[in-house]
């Protein structure tokens, strides 16, 4: 096992080649399983929604192969330790030989390789075999980092019975729609929840998250960057890159792009970009220090 590396979350993953047209995650356990599990097998369709979970809890990605015993043993240990944390983090197992685009997104040069995502940003953990005690220590450090980054709480199990309270019906309807790749239906469900309870913060953030997923689902990062660079006055192109930066982990870059854009706009266009920036703040979380820093810059631009 190489030395675990738990830096402040930074960097990015290029998700342009992995834009999801509809998540179809394959659960690692049988659908009939009764023991709750926060572990799933990831394919390319399920990858981007899995990354979105990292806005709520650390999302761990294990790149390996079922043909390599070291990978099999490592994934078994990871599954036990992640599931023991009851939704405070999640695990996605990737067959790097079957889905090389995912491995490429992480610049993986060897397997097994384990990376965490915190607010969409990659945090390298370790490569090669590891004892359960070592993995447990790394996951504890990861949990501390997540707390520093403003993450908290837990997410529902991917399979089995977690014993936790069910989501409100409309929230569950939205989650089911996201799982089916129907972002319009998910947004409608969250909006209905807001109509019933206007102060439902989770529903409001859900609306913004679903809109972000919908906007970026069919965008290519490289094409969008090139278009925005060639057309600096095109608001839609600038907004597209900001969205992709946020999903890819370049949170500060996304915020800076929009604040700079606001500084040279007026009236209607300025308000449109400001509203988008407020939505992205909500997706990241108002407690995040990057949001606080950007809000200060935005205030200086506006006032």
Each residue's pLDDT tens digit, 150-174: 777 788 888 765 445 567 899 889 8
For residues 119-144, give the mean pLDDT.
Answer: 87
Q: Higher confidence at residue 65 or residue 16?
A: 65
- CATH number 1.10.3470 is the correct assignment for the domain at 169-302: no
- pLDDT value of position 194: 94
16-148 — its CATH code? Answer: 3.40.30.10
- pLDDT of 24 strictly over 50: no
pLDDT at residue 161, rounded to an integer: 53
Domain ranges in the chain are 16-148, 169-302
**Judging by beta carbons within 10 Å of its beta carbon (0-12, 13-18, 19+), is residue 167 exposed, middle or buried?**
middle
Q: What is the model's pTM?
A: 0.53
Q: Is the pLDDT of residue 53 over 90?
A: no
Spatial neighbors of 62 by CB under 8 A, at least 6 apart, are 71, 74, 75, 78, 91, 92, 93, 94, 112, 113, 114
CA distance 215 to 257: 17
Helices (H) and strands (E) in the chain, counts: 12, 6
Our CA dihedral for 178, 183, 188, 194, rounded to 10 degrees, sits at: 60
Is 90's pLDDT higher than 70? yes
Whether 4 shows a pLDDT value over 50: the answer reads no
In terms of phi and psi (left: phi > 0; alpha: psi -120 to 50; beta: otherwise), the region of 119 is left
What whole-number percentage of the chain has pLDDT above 90?
33
The residues near 233 (Cβ < 8 Å, ≥ 6 apart) are none
Model confidence pLDDT, tens digit, residues 207-227 = 998 999 899 988 888 899 999
Q: Would you state the pLDDT for residue 166?
A: 65
Mean pLDDT of 125-137: 86
Same fold, 16-148 and 169-302: no
Q: Which two tokens stand for residue 144?
A: 């501390």
Asked if 139 and 146 count as a contact pair (C-beta separation under 8 A), the reply is no
Q: Which helix (H) or strand (E) holds 302?
A: helix 289-302
Length of the chain: 303
Half-sphere exposure of 36 (CA within 13 A, CB side): 17
pLDDT averaged over every residue in the chain: 82
């Amino acid at each position: 096992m190489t030395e675990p590396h738990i830096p402040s979350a930074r960097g990015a993953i290029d998700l342009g080649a992995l834009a999801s047209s509809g998540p179809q995650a394959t659960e690692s356990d049988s659908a009939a399983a009764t023991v709750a599990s926060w572990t799933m097998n990831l394919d390319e369709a399920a990858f981007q929604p899995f990354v979105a979970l990292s806005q709520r809890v650390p999302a761990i990605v294990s790149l390996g192969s079922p043909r390599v015993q070291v990978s099999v043993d490592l994934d078994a240990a990871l599954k036990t330790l992640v599931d023991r944390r009851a939704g405070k983090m999640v695990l996605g197992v990737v067959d790097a030989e079957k889905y090389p685009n995912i491995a490429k997104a992480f610049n993986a040069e060897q397997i097994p390789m384990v990376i965490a995502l915190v607010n969409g940003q990659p945090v390298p953990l370790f490569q090669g075999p590891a004892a359960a005690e070592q993995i447990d220590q790394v996951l504890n450090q990861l949990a501390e980092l997540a707390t520093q980054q403003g993450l908290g709480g837990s997410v529902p199990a991917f399979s089995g019975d977690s014993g936790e309270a069910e989501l409100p019906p409309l929230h569950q309807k939205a989650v089911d729609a996201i799982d089916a790749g129907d972002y319009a239906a998910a947004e409608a469900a969250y909006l209905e929840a807001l109509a019933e309870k206007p102060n439902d913060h989770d529903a409001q953030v859900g609306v913004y998250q679903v809109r972000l997923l919908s906007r970026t689902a069919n965008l290519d990062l490289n094409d969008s960057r090139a278009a925005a660079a060639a057309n600096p006055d095109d608001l839609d192109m600038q907004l597209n890159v900001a969205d992709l930066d946020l999903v890819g982990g370049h949170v500060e870059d996304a915020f800076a792009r929009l604040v700079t854009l606001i500084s040279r706009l007026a009236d209607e266009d300025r308000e449109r970009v400001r509203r988008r920036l407020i939505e992205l703040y909500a997706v990241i979380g108002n407690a995040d220090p990057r949001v606080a820093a950007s809000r200060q810059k935005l205030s200086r631009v506006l006032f």
